Amino acid sequence: MTDRELPEQYLDGYAEIVAEVSATGRRLTRDEVSSRRALGEQAAEAGHGLRALVSSHLTAARTAWPGTPGSADGALAAVQQVIDAFAEGYERAQLLAVRQ
């Protein structure tokens, strides 16, 4: 599967989270972090590459950025938090797969 064929489900709610977090300056909520981890786990279990997934997140952030209220620092902080949680879930799924 190429980058362009990644299912959109792994970006569900991403633009909204980035917009809200960058506008308010708050950190992601526990539910938001948990949902991003779960999506990372699902992506790993489906066999998608982490690099392609991160690239998809960055592309979505660039697309949403012009309409995102708040500072560049706030938007980048939101993107960092989302990708960190997503990658954590991805790595957890890979570790569990290796242990099995």
For the chain, give me the number of helices (H) and strands (E)? 4, 0
Both tokens of residue 63? 């697309």
Could you read off the pLDDT of 41-98 as tens digits, one per residue? Answer: 999 999 999 999 999 999 999 888 777 777 888 889 999 999 999 999 999 999 988 8
The Cβ-side half-sphere exposure at 18, using a 13 Å CA radius, reads 25
Tokens 């569900």, residue?
12
Which pLDDT score, from 0 to 100, does residue 67 have? 73
What phi, psi does 36 have (nearest 5°)? -70, -40
d(CA 1, CA 69): 34
Both tokens of residue 53? 């997934």
| Total-model pTM | 0.87
